[in-house]
Amino acid sequence: MMRAFELTKTKVRYPGSDFPALDDVSVGADEGEIVLLLGSNNAGKSTFCRLLNGLVPNSIPAQVGGKAEVLGRDVRRTSVARLATLVGMVFQEPDNQLFCMSVEEEVAFGPENLAIPRAEIIARVEWALEAVGLSGYNARSPSNLSGGEKQRLVIAAALSMRPRLLVLDEPAYALDPAGRLDLYALLRLLRERYGMTIIIAERDAEEMAELCDRVILLRNGRVVADGPPSEVLSDIDEVVAAGVSPPQIAHLSSLLADRFPGKTRPFLTTDDAEKEIADLVRTAGSGAP
């Protein structure tokens, strides 16, 4: 299977900046993975995302050292427009990405630029709207949609170019908690149905443990941890040091392990936590170890 992306000793430095935005990053992902890029503000998440679709360095000037490949292509030698057919990009605020006057035009914009024949565009628009649950919204005005619908429309507008990778830079920024869960459910669905590779950059790891297969923890432009969520998120010290608040349940798991060594197994979900703590409290009086 082809690697979705592969960075090897990648270094990105913006002109006039004293510190590299990404420093000696060697990390990759297989196709079909859901990867969480976790880090505080200025950890390098946005640079990472923009490197994957070639905005860095093709549109935003930057020095890129090392190797940076997406689906086997060197991002420095591939135009942003060409990469758009491989990598769909979703930014923070939908209002800054929806510039058309109707939903269908928004979704058709990418394919139109790629000079896809009209019949095919129509099919793609219908498919993309269906994939994000906005079928029948064709003639609506994007500015009249709800926050959650807008973000789904942004995703549809990327999907219509049939990318294999979807990169989302803090996509839940403008959403309420329920909208955030809906979005995550949609992303899981896209992976299940279409085998898409999904890279999500977030500042906050709550509710993420169950969504992603892998977590890449960034700190000051460097990868400080990379592995399954159960591993990365339960290393609370590392997560906190990276300026990220750990998921509460993972945090609890680690605090309990410190306080009662050997008495609990690590957990990530509320259900497991409930069982562990109930056991822990009940065994206290019985004199069991």
Q: How far apart are CA 214 and CA 239, in angstroms?
A: 14
Assess 192 for contact with another protein (CB under 8 A): no
**Residue placing its CB nearer to another protein in the complex, 1 or 178:** 178
b (16+ CB within 10 A) / e for 11-30: bbbeeeeeebbbbebebebe
Q: Which of 16, 18, 77, 96 binds another protein (CB under 8 A)?
A: 96
**Residue placing its CB nearer to another protein in the complex, 30 or 272:** 272
**Residue placing its CB nearer to another protein in the complex, 177 or 227:** 177
Assess 153 for contact with another protein (CB under 8 A): no
**Residue placing its CB nearer to another protein in the complex, 30 or 114:** 114
Rg (CA), the chain: 21
Closest-CA residue to 10 (of 42, 50, 59)? 50
Contact 89, 158 (CB under 8 A): yes
Assess 249 for contact with another protein (CB under 8 A): yes
Assess 270 for contact with another protein (CB under 8 A): yes
**Residue placing its CB nearer to another protein in the complex, 9 or 241:** 241
Assess 111 for contact with another protein (CB under 8 A): yes
Q: Which of 25, 37, 64, 273 binds another protein (CB under 8 A)?
A: 273
Q: How far apart are CA 163 and CA 130, in angstroms?
A: 16
Q: What one-character DSSP code corresponds to residue 164? A: S
Q: How far is the CB of 222 from another protein (least distance, A)?
A: 16
